[in-house]
């Protein structure tokens, strides 16, 4: 599996995103909340989106930097999901009030993805 985050792996469909928030399930692991939904169409890859609330970080520069770091952490650790037989739409929402560094975010992404995989294997 390539360690890239291409166009097909980004969640951009407004319909899928609205369905994700209406019907999706969630997992929390500080500083993230992961909202996920199994994709019904013939998706070949997981699709991910990243969100940082304006309420926590007023400056767009800070929000964009955190989203960039979140995408990088996900890109490096998405191999954790490679063994999943189903494909999912994933939305990572940043819950923290302070800015974390890339290594800290990588550890958090690893934890939440592992937690997600374990939860999906039990069902």
The number of residues making up the chain comes to 123
CATH topology of domain 7-116: Ribosomal Protein S5; domain 2 (3.30.230)
Q: Which two tokens stand for residue 33?
A: 């909340």
Q: Are 75 and 4 in contact (CB under 8 A)?
A: yes
Please state, in angstroms and rounded to a whole number, the distance separating the CA atoms of residues 106 and 118.
Answer: 18
Helix axes 102-122, 60-77, angle to 10 degrees: 50
- Output the pTM of the full model: 0.90
The phi, psi pair for 92, rounded to 5°, reads -95, 120
Helix (H, G, I), strand (E, B) or coil at 25: strand
Q: Are 94 and 56 in contact (CB under 8 A)?
A: yes
pLDDT, one tens digit for every residue, the chain (123 residues): 677 787 888 889 899 999 999 999 999 999 999 999 988 877 778 899 999 999 999 999 999 999 999 999 999 998 888 877 888 999 999 999 999 999 999 999 999 999 998 888 777
Residue whose C-alpha is closest to residue 90's, from 30, 21, 41, 3: 21
């Amino acid at each position: 599996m390539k360690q890239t985050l291409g166009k097909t792996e980004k969640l951009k469909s407004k319909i899928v995103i609205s369905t994700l928030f209406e019907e999706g399930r969630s997992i929390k692991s500080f500083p993230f909340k992961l909202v996920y939904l199994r994709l019904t169409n013939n998706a070949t890859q997981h699709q991910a989106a990243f969100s940082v609330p304006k309420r926590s970080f007023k400056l767009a520069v800070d929000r964009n930097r955190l989203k960039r770091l979140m995408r990088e952490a996900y890109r490096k650790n998405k191999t954790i999901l490679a063994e999943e037989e189903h494909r999912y739409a994933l939305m990572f929402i940043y819950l923290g009030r302070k800015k974390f560094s890339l290594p800290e975010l990588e550890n958090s992404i690893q934890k939440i993805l592992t937690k997600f995989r374990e939860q999906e294997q039990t069902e």
